[in-house]
Amino acid sequence: MTRSFLPLALGETRFIRPDVAQLRLPVVNVFLLGEPGSPWVLVDAGTPLDAERILRAAAQHHDLPPEAIILTHGHLDHIGALRALLKAWPGVPVYAHPLEWPHLTGQVAYPFPDPTVGGSMSLLSPLLSPGPFQFADRLRPLPDDGTVPAAPGWQWRHTPGHSNGHVSLWRETDRTLIAGDAVVTTRQEDLRRAVTMHPSELRGPPRYYTSNWQAARASAAALAALNPQYLLTGHGFALESPGAELAALVAAFGERGQPPRGWYLGHPVPVEVLRPGRPDPLRTRVLTTLAALLGLWWWQRAGKR
């Protein structure tokens, strides 16, 4: 039977395993791998407002910089505090999948977020910067052999769909899975639920920022095949014994995992290195619509004078 670890208070840290801590931030989780007081690794880096909370948790449990920062992917809510953290921790390397590199080295923006998938958070998603971001001076590639730097026993698994270079972290010995955003346990498309991490059934990746739904389903199936004992996600709360829920999600992915509508359902972004100059028709459509609405508002306001 699936057991839920109840949602944490904002800024609270909970050890799901003796050496795996979940830190709850306003709209996202980050993870600290390593027993308290021992060498450790940070997984993801939250939003631009989260640096102080991450630094406090690090000081409370480890009192030393991490050996490395591992990114499941590079969307703004997972790298937002990274620049401030790197300033506080000189010399700490950052690891990401090579398919994320164009977005993290100032070359190419991520595919534009889709506000048409439904939900209040989705409507606000065009405000989330798709980059590109610049961390070339500290960025390193994840090892080809699947190991996770400075985290013995952990492996990374390529789980594209939410982004091309999205990865999840897996430890076979106790079957602990850090899924990143490949699956989540809150309704991230709803602003209130996203902020409070209100419990929900296991779901697919955040809908407004997922650019290839076929790949996302395949990634969810690959994670279900691992049969994890502990499941930790980038948004929401941790689950114990989630096998049945993962299987149900994959079986009904068209209803539970992906939106009923949306740009990327019919226009998936290929899982490949995205090059500078890549056209982004959704960005053009959204910005044109916003400009038209702003112009209409201004015209109506001017007419009332």
Name the amino acid, one letter, at 301: R
Strand partners, 167: 158
**Within the chain, which residues score under 70 in pLDDT?**
1-4, 6-7, 198-199, 290-297, 299, 301-305
Q: Which residues of 131-145 are buried (b: 16+ CB within 10 A; e: fewer)?
A: bbbebeebbeebeee
Q: DSSP of 215-239, one letter per residue?
A: HHHHHHHHHHHH--SEEE-SSS--E
H-helix segments, 91-138: 101-104, 120-124
Supply the pLDDT for residue 287.
75
Residue 138 is predicted with a pLDDT of 98
Q: What is the pLDDT of residues 222-281, one digit of tens each?
A: 999 999 999 999 999 999 999 999 999 999 999 999 999 999 999 999 999 999 888 888
* pLDDT reported for residue 196: 72
Would you state the pLDDT for residue 8? Answer: 77
Annotation: CATH topology of 8-293: Metallo-beta-lactamase; Chain A (3.60.15)
The domain spans of the chain are 8-293
Q: What is the DSSP pairing of strand 29-33 with strand 184-186?
A: unpaired
d(CA 3, CA 141): 35
Rounded Cα distance between 130 and 74, Å, is: 9
User: For residue 7, what pLDDT is reported?
Assistant: 61
Give pLDDT, residue 284.
80
Residue 124 in tokens: 């606000």
pLDDT of residue 195: 77
Give the Cα separation of 63 and 76 in Å (integer).
Answer: 26
